[in-house]
Amino acid sequence: MKKELIKVQQGLHLTEQEMMAASEAMFDERTNNETIKTFLIALKEKGETADEIVGLVKVVRKHAMQINSPLQNVMDNCGTGGDGSQSFNISTCSAFVIAGANVPIAKHGNRSISSKTGSADVLEHLGVRLDFTAEEVSNLLKKNNIAFLFAPHVHPGIRKVMAARKELGVPTIFNLIGPLTNPVELDTQLVGIYRRDMLHTMAEALVRLGRRKGVVISGAGHMDEASLEGENHLAVVEDGQIHSVILKPEDVGLTAVSNEKIRGGGPLDNARILKSVLSGEASVYRDTVLLNAGIALFAHGSASSIAEGIEAAKESIDSQSALNRLNDLVHYSNQKELAQ
């Protein structure tokens, strides 16, 4: 990757093909950690482009678990994390609401990085296994509309690069691409990102990766989720085009609330919050999930507007369809446990 490294150090952008070559080198055992770290820092200082993001994503997915989904309209609602908000597991809770609205969702996630509790932490506490095989993921999507893909499990080849990232200890391009590396072939997607300066770049990446429709969102307070606190900045992708939207909670009939009100805690606390929302309990947590699930259903195209998506999200919760999706995923995990 010497040629690509020199180019980046000169402040020049890489083409998608050049980034793919550099990414393959990062996966190569012969490439030392110092070279990888130097390359990642040079990229960070230069500023990452859509070409570079797409090139890296394609290589990461090439080395990931290969999953053949039986469905054509699968989505994900994973965010980049890193916003430091300490919020409860909004996207994880929203995923069950999305599934309960009859939209198949391959929920990609990890353990906590910048928060107290990551999606894997809370789901594991609830009894969901983190080691589903490719066949089990396909079966769950078909039968239950939701499967959880634990990032370290479905991306075993990335361990070498993770060592270099850990040594660096600062955010790099890998902190941007997580939501885009889902091994399932996605049709649509909701991506949350706290870095508002990368909003349009991430939307360009969605277009380049073939998403039919999608939304990239940077929430009020620079959360990587939609927030009730104020203005949410959205980049909406549809048919290869990108347009910007600013959405406030009042625009869709919700009340503005400070982000302080949606703080979470450890796995036990966040599991309690998640189950309270899916059980229909009225709260600021529920309203936050309704907003995020509503945007996701709009991003998927199953709702023609965010307001319509919120109504579908309410029905998913109030009919207990969302809760059933969680219970069935836990039951499937228990059966897997018993079979071993």
Q: Is 79 annotated as a binding residue?
A: yes
Q: Is 114 annotated as a binding residue?
A: yes
218 phi and psi angles, rounded to 5 deg: -120, 110
Q: Is 224 annotated as a binding residue?
A: yes
Q: Is 113 annotated as a binding residue?
A: yes
Copy the structure tokens of residue 128: 């969901």
Q: State the amino acid at position 12 in one-letter form.
A: L
Cα–Cα distance for residue pair 320/198, rounded to 1 Å: 37
Q: Is 218 annotated as a binding residue?
A: no
Q: Is 15 left (phi over 0), alpha (psi -120 to 50) or beta?
A: beta
C-alpha distances in angstroms, 67 versus 153, 220, 256?
13, 35, 40
Q: Is 165 annotated as a binding residue?
A: yes
Copy the structure tokens of residue 254: 């919700």
Q: Is 109 annotated as a binding residue?
A: yes
Q: Is 82 annotated as a binding residue?
A: yes
Copy the structure tokens of residue 322: 């969302």
Q: Is 83 annotated as a binding residue?
A: yes
Q: Is 92 annotated as a binding residue?
A: yes
Q: Is 107 annotated as a binding residue?
A: yes
Q: State the amino acid at position 39 in one-letter form.
A: F
* 306 and 313 Cβ atoms separated by less than 8 Å: no
Q: Is 89 annotated as a binding residue?
A: yes
Q: Is 225 annotated as a binding residue?
A: yes
Side by side, the strands of the sheet bearing 213-218 are 146-150, 105-109, 75-76, 188-192, 213-218, 232-238, 241-247
Which residues define the annotated binding site for anthranilate?
79, 110, 165
Which residues define the annotated binding site?
79, 82-83, 87, 89-92, 107-115, 119, 165, 224-225
Which residues define the annotated binding site for 5-phospho-alpha-D-ribose 1-diphosphate?
79, 82-83, 87, 89-92, 107-115, 119
Which residues define the annotated binding site for Mg(2+)?
91, 224-225
